C-alpha cells in the first residue's frame, strides 16, 4: 500500500484538469495514490478524472464533495486518504502543473522529519509571456514579505516557527500533524494562511523545499490584477471584481 497520497481539489476544471493529471503521471516518483475531489462541478470534471483513472500509472480515487469551497474539498480528500492508510499527504490544484520531481521532493522532506513542507511556486509557462510571469513573481515576493513582517504573524503570539510563504497548491504534510491541528478550514479560499498558522502553533517542523516546484495558473492574476489578487489572499475579497475565477 502506498503511504503517500496526493489530493487534487477540482471545481469546474474539466478543461484544465487533464494537464494536471498528466503532470502527475510524469512524476519520477509514482509510488503514490491520487485522490481527485470533484467540488460541486457540473462541467464533467469527475468524468475527466475517471477517464484518467483507466490508464493512470498509480491508483486513482474520484470523490464528490457537494459543499463548495476549496477547504471543504481538501479536507474531505485528506481525511479520506488518512482513513485508507495515508501516512504522508501532498496537495496541488487542478489548474497547476507539478514538475517531475515534485512528489519525490515532498516524500524526501517528510521522511527527513518535516511536519509540513512548503514548495516553490512559479507561473505556468503555457498561459502567459514574460510580463505575466514577472507579475506573478512580484505578487509572490510581496506576499512572502508581508507575511514575514505582519504583526499578527510574530512568534510572540504563540507561534513555534517563523512565517514562511505557504501556497496550498504546493504543500505536503504528515497525516499525524494534519489531524493534530484539526485539518484544513472547511470554507472557500483563501484557507492557506489559516492552515499554516494552525501548524505554526503546533510545531516548528516546517520546511521550505526549493526542489518541490509547481507551475501555477495565473487566471486570478489576469482577472483581478496584482492589487485585487493581493486583496484576495489577504482575505479582504477581490474588491470591485466578482467571483473567484478559480
- Give the H or E element holding residue 192: helix 192-202
Beta-carbon count within 10 A of 9 CB: 30
What ranges do the domains of the chain cover?
4-233
Percent of the chain scoring above 90 in pLDDT = 66
pLDDT on residue 34: 98
Averaged pLDDT score across all residues of the chain: 87
- What CATH class does 4-233 carry? alpha beta
pLDDT per position as a tens digit, 203-241: 999 999 999 999 998 766 666 665 665 565 555 544 554
Task: Please give the C-alpha separations between residue 86 and each of 7, 173, 174, 197, 239, in angstroms, as whole numbers.
Answer: 11, 11, 9, 23, 39
Nearest to residue 198, comparing CAs of 66, 32, 75, 35? 75
Least confident range of 93-102, 131-140, 188-197, 198-207: 131-140
Amino acid at each position: 500500500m502506498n503511504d503517500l497520497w496526493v489530493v487534487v481539489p477540482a471545481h469546474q476544471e474539466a478543461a484544465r484538469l487533464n494537464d494536471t493529471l498528466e503532470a502527475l503521471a510524469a512524476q519520477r516518483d509514482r509510488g503514490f495514490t491520487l485522490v481527485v475531489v470533484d467540488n460541486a462541478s457540473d462541467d464533467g470534471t469527475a468524468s475527466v478524472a475517471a477517464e484518467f483513472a483507466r490508464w493512470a500509472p498509480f491508483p486513482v480515487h474520484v470523490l464528490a464533495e457537494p459543499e463548495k469551497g476549496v477547504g471543504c474539498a481538501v479536507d474531505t480528500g485528506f481525511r479520506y486518504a488518512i482513513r485508507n492508510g495515508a501516512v504522508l499527504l501532498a496537495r496541488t490544484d487542478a489548474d497547476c502543473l507539478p514538475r517531475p520531481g515534485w512528489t519525490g521532493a515532498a516524500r524526501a522532506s517528510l521522511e527527513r522529519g518535516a511536519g509540513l513542507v512548503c514548495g516553490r511556486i512559479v507561473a505556468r509557462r503555457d498561459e502567459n509571456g514574460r510580463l505575466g510571469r514577472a507579475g506573478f513573481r512580484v505578487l509572490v515576493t510581496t506576499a512572502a514579505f508581508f507575511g514575514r513582517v505582519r504583526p499578527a504573524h510574530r512568534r510572540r503570539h504563540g507561534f513555534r516557527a517563523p512565517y514562511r510563504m505557504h501556497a496550498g497548491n504546493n504543500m505536503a504534510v504528515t497525516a499525524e500533524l494534519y489531524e493534530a491541528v484539526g485539518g484544513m478550514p472547511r470554507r472557500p479560499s483563501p484557507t492557506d494562511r489559516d492552515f499554516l498558522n494552525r501548524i505554526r502553533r503546533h510545531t516548528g517542523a516546517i520546511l521550505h523545499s526549493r526542489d518541490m516546484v509547481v507551475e501555477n495558473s495565473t487566471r486570478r492574476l489576469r482577472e483581478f490584477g496584482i492589487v485585487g489578487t493581493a486583496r484576495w489572499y489577504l482575505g479582504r475579497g477581490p474588491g470591485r471584481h466578482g467571483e473567484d475565477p478559480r
